[in-house]
Homo-oligomer: A and B are copies of this chain.
Amino acid sequence: MAQVPDHKQKLREICRVAARVFYEKGYEGASMQDVAQAVGLTKAGLYHHVGSKDRLLFEIMNYGMDILDETVLQKVKDIADPREKLRQTIIGHINLVVRARDLEITVILHENRSLTGPLRKQINARKRAYIKNLENLIAQVQAQAGGKPAISPHLAAFVALGMINWLYQWYNPEGPIKLEELTQAYVDFFFRGMQV
């Protein structure tokens, strides 16, 4: 992972704590005072770091996308075989979603109704780039498999995102289904569904 500069580390720390506050009280229900208190800053200090409540929400979502890039895309970037790359992308994304550490951030990332205007557009552009990357990978796997694709890369990408992102609703890594079992079952299901 690339070295993260100090001021970015501080911002990330604020984002993690703020995400927990927003997750618990709701974005609209939580005040900047609540966040400042949880982070251990004065309200003025918090505003100095993040500018505004809108901007803070944006930074949390942006951080969520950074985590996705760093823990999923970076890890697979040197894999040449499309099939193995897709497999590892799915596994990486599952690991991220079920990892308790960033639960609040990944949940908030998908509740993007509160973000508006240009900030929302920026986050949506990053989400679209992630999806586009997944679609390209799926298309490569289908091309390698040959024959007529069973599903469009676009729909297949959203099937994958739905299966995986929904995990936070029900899956508990401490429960009866081991993470390895879940991951294997999901990858196998997805490749069978793709017919590749």
**Residues of A with Cβ closer than 8 Å to B?**
23-30, 110-111, 113-114, 150-152, 154-156, 158-159, 161-167, 169-171, 177, 182, 185-186, 188-190, 192-195
Contacts and interface: CB of A to CB of B under 8 A. Distances in A.
A31 to B, nearest CB: 11
A142 B94 CA distance: 26
A185 B151 contact: yes
A26 B23 contact: no
A159 B182 CA distance: 11
Q: How many of these chains are in the complex?
A: 2
A86 B45 CA distance: 56
B170 A166 contact: no
B166 A162 contact: yes
A48 to B, nearest CB: 25
Given A26-B29, A162-B163, A189-B193, 16 more contacts: A26-B27, A28-B28, A28-B29, A110-B169, A154-B177, A155-B182, A158-B170, A158-B171, A159-B163, A159-B186, A161-B166, A161-B169, A162-B164, A163-B163, A163-B166, A192-B192
